[in-house]
Chain A
Amino acid sequence: MINLNRNREPSFPAVRLLGCAATATLAFFVAWNALAQSRNAPVGPGERPDYGSEASKLLAVPATGVLPGAVPSPVDIKNPFEGDPGAVERGMKHFVNFNCVGCHAPNGAGGMGPSLSNNKWIHGDKPANIYLSIYQGRANGMPAWGSTLPSNVIWELVSYIESISQDPDHHFGKTISRNPQSPDIEQVPAQELQTATPWKHTQPFSNGRRP
């Protein structure tokens, strides 16, 4: 393990120095940008969270579950709107207004982008992971919204996404089968019911027929 790490280290001090400088500069700019944005951000109802220190902490959020040396990440960033039902409702409006709905579909069904209605996450399930996926975009087509949306809008989107992803199926994996029928429920479709909690409104699975 140690040998492996050593092999990957840069051999020249100059290269190492350059790497450190580059990382520091990058960190500074990202933090500065986030800070500047949070200052300009429209203030939502309730107490305004401290975006500044959040932004610098976000840099430390790992993008993978493999942590060398098995050292756990010290970062634990909470959604500043955690427990705020108003933020969920505002997030639902943002989801439509910023055309998230076009790719991820009503209720997060998925389409051009992956579904958000189940408990499967490609880039991590923590609020900070979801925040960063929206802020930075992702390589396979998720647009980078960091230069367009203020932090509080992104956190409200995180609140809404957490709400629609409350999958009632808590199995580790999904079973798909015609007989016995699995899955055996579906949501009441969005054209009939507009809600931020679609998993509270289900009906029997329709197998492609009219419900």
Chain B
Amino acid sequence: MTDLLPPILPVLRNGLRNRIIVGFSLCVGGWTLLWGQPLTGVFVLPSIVAAGLFFAGLLIGARPRGKSLLVGALPTLLLILTAPVVDAQDLVRLSQDDKQWVMPAKNYASTRYSGLNQITKDNVGQLKLAWSFSLGVPRGQEAAPLIVNNTMYVVTPYPNNVFALDATTGDLKWTYKPNTSPASQGVACCDVVNRGLAYDNGKIFLNTLDNHTIALDANTGKELWVTTLGDISRGQTLTMAPFAVKGKVMVGNSGGEMGVRGWVTALNEDDGKIAWRAYSTGPDSDVLIGSDFKPFYPQFKKKDLGVTTWPADAWKHGGGTMWGWLSYDSGLNLLYYGSANPGPWNEAQRPGDNLWTTTLFARNPDTGSAHWALQLNPHDTFDHDEINETLLLDLPIDGKPRKVAVHIGRDGFMWVVDRATGEALSVEPYDEQNAYKGFDYKTGRLMPNEEKKPSPQKTVHNICPTAPGAKDWQPSAWSPRTKLIYVPHQHLCMDWKSSEVGYIAGTPYVGATLDMYAASGGYRGEFLAWDPVQKKRVWAIKENFPVWSGTLVTAGDVAFYGTMDRWFKAVDATNGKVLWQFKAGSGIIGQPVTYQGSDGTQYVAILAGIGGWPGVIANAELDPRTRNGALGFTGAVQDLPAYTGAGSELLVFALPKSAPTSATPNGAEGNSDQPQ
């Protein structure tokens, strides 16, 4: 720098003010254009630094003498190099801005909590429909709308059309219709759903059912790149919402019922090229287990467990897909997710622990390398995928603050795990449970109940929870105000009969006949508030049908969720009192979100449209009189078509412009569909 200063001085003397104005304007303009963000919030500091660099570059670059060109380019180069770091901060910042909802889980910690507080438990009773939009695809609507800078992005089930709408007025900005293969519908196990989009750095990322990951220009809807990740003739599909972190977009595959070998793949956001792929089965080199791998429990430390815990070659069709949720801790630089069930469902064909299926992983997002792993259901016998959401919370455990990952297990247990080490701190059942005996803290293994273990050609009755688990994909929420986790889930038991199945690529690889039904009490679903520190249920709302929608909780102490019998409900987050409800056109299995429009109003959005694994009985050609349909879910929901038909409507709610603040519950009465 000392070398630089003397040559700069004459330039400074020759029109300093002009250069400052031009340089700074260029920088601000360039910054806004490049990264698409206004210069506010935590962005101010890096912006000023960048402005300085840019200005310096401009000054030096303008120098007439020889060697200055290289020197002048240096600051600009620095700016470019810092861009990826700034990008990561960009999405962090956006996810912390409560006006936005930039990823399905709201933020990297997956809390689905919004600090917006215009809508409170005192005025939510006044909530009214502000606008709606028909998606035109009457299958299961599981997606979360995204809201980025007053634009809402919505994705439909197959064929996975994307709509961009003005988030305040509902005006349609652009539509993108991918040429998704119709045949992909035939290899999707549980309706042709899509769980949402991802956003980062001016791009929207989309997964199509037929294995394409696509980047779109968020402003124009223009297709930027398309990467093919799988083959429907091998039973692979994509249904999960991509997850953007540090310049990469993470995608996991579906097809655990089709003998697919599961993975998570990281694609470069810029060009769609594959940066890394981590399989859930196979040798350590494929699972990206290397020198960084330090699992807490000794049974996970042996070599190539993804091969040795299977019969010969069975891991090649062994499942462990990842069609659910990821979380990210920027402090530890670790990515968290759980892998799905082993295949086939008939456990007799795969003796062994079947690693790394039903396993919680912590990975480095830059390289994919595994840091720790914890298998939740060794040798899973009941299709207990563990792709459910993992909430990253800082909780007092035994009086000491701990950085934990809370995974609301499909197996019916609330797993509280040290997210730095992979140690299970508490593993408590949150619903009726007889499939397992409980967690052994010494060995780190969930212990099966041998009485409920399937054996070939014998029907085992009354296993709880069922194959979809006590909770499936439908994500929970956490409020830092109430310190409660809000858990939408099902309340079912099942009969199970195993049978031999052969692997034929592109066809189901299951080997089990299932029949599900309501668990004790006769109700089939529940909206539960759980205290993860006290390890206990605080309150619960019983629902007639499985609660297959996600949830959302706000600083107004209101939690929102939807029911399969068409109610969208707002409840008091402190005590579970239903404060408001709206009867939608079709059953709700979507994910509610909230945001602030350009008019300063808080909105709440949800997709209505029955479907998903329990909902295909009401949106596709199934017979309610044959209980074993839909992999056994028909038995538990055979009366659903008498409550709802298919639909596909985006509903957006707000308080009236002059909303009274007094509490007047509206519509909370007359819920005749509630079980008494």
Query: A-side interface residues toward B, CB under 8 Å?
Result: 96-99, 101-103, 105-115, 117-118, 120, 122, 139-143, 176-178, 183, 185-187, 189-192, 198, 202, 205-211
Contact = CB atoms under 8 A, between A and B. Distances in A.
B186 A106 contact: no
Interface of B: 182-190, 257, 459, 462, 493, 495-497, 499, 501-502, 504, 506-510, 513-515, 517-518, 522, 524, 616, 620-631, 634-643
Nearest to A177: B642
A105 B622 CA distance: 10
Contacts, number: 161
Given A111-B622, A185-B625, A208-B524, A102 B616 contact: no
B509 A102 contact: yes
Dominant secondary structure at the A interface: loop
B520 to A, nearest CB: 10
Contacts of B641: 176
Contacts of A109: 622-623, 626-630, 634
A134 B218 CA distance: 43
A198 B393 CA distance: 52
A211 B616 CA distance: 21
Given A190-B513, A208-B517, A110 B630 contact: yes
9 contacts: A102-B508, A110-B634, A112-B187, A112-B508, A139-B182, A143-B186, A176-B641, A178-B643, A186-B624
Contacts of B634: 105, 109-111
A131 B505 CA distance: 21
Contacts of A208: 517-518, 524, 635-640
Given A118-B623, A141-B183, A208-B638, A105 B507 contact: no
A202 B514 CA distance: 18
B561 to A, nearest CB: 20
Of the candidates A99, A108, A113, A118, the one having the most CB atoms from chain B within 10 angstroms of its own CB is A99
Contacts of B635: 189, 206, 208
Contacts of B184: 141
A176 B623 CA distance: 11
Given A140-B183, A141-B185, A208-B638, A110 B507 contact: no
Contact of A210 (B188, B493, B637): B493
Nearest to B506: A143
B630 A111 contact: yes
A186 B638 contact: yes
Nearest to B518: A209
Contacts of A186: 624-627, 638
Of the candidates A109, A143, A205, the one having the most CB atoms from chain B within 10 angstroms of its own CB is A109
A141 B182 contact: yes
Given A186-B627, A190-B513, A210-B517, 12 more contacts: A98-B507, A99-B508, A107-B626, A109-B629, A110-B634, A140-B182, A141-B183, A141-B185, A191-B515, A208-B636, A208-B637, A210-B518
Contacts of B459: 191-192
A117 B642 contact: no
A112 B634 CA distance: 12
Given A109-B628, A183-B624, A209-B518, A99 B185 contact: no
A110 to B, nearest CB: 4
B628 A105 contact: yes
A187 B182 contact: no
Of the candidates A105, A190, A205, the one having the most CB atoms from chain B within 10 angstroms of its own CB is A105
A111 B619 CA distance: 11
Nearest to B504: A99
B110 to A, nearest CB: 29
A209 B493 CA distance: 10
Nearest to A188: B627
Nearest to A199: B625
Contacts of B626: 105-110, 115, 117, 186-187, 189, 198
B504 A189 contact: no
Contacts of A140: 182-183, 185-186
Nearest to A115: B623
A107 B515 CA distance: 13
Contacts of A110: 620-623, 626, 629-630, 634
A142 B629 contact: no
Contacts of A183: 624-625
Contacts of A102: 257, 501, 507-510
A64 B78 CA distance: 66
Nearest to B524: A208
Contacts of B493: 210
A44 B472 CA distance: 45
Contacts of A99: 501-502, 504, 507-510
Contacts of A101: 508
A206 B634 CA distance: 11
B183 A178 contact: no
Given A109-B622, A190-B513, A211 B627 contact: yes
Of the candidates A110, A112, A198, A211, the one having the most CB atoms from chain B within 10 angstroms of its own CB is A112
Contacts of A120: 621
A35 B174 CA distance: 52
A143 to B, nearest CB: 6
Nearest to B232: A141
A196 B592 CA distance: 45
B331 to A, nearest CB: 42
Given A97-B502, A140-B182, A141-B186, A207 B627 contact: no
Contact of B621 (A114, A176, A190, A207): A114
A173 to B, nearest CB: 13
A115 B496 contact: no
B183 A111 contact: no
8 interchain residue pairs of minimum CB distance: A141-B186, A102-B508, A109-B629, A109-B626, A114-B621, A99-B507, A110-B622, A115-B623
Contacts of A206: 517, 627, 635, 638
Contacts of A205: 624-625, 638-639
A187 B620 CA distance: 20
Nearest to B637: A208
A78 B42 CA distance: 76
Nearest to A103: B508
Contacts of B639: 178, 205, 207-208
B628 A189 contact: yes
B496 to A, nearest CB: 7
A107 B628 contact: yes
Given A99-B504, A103-B508, A208-B638, A112 B189 contact: yes
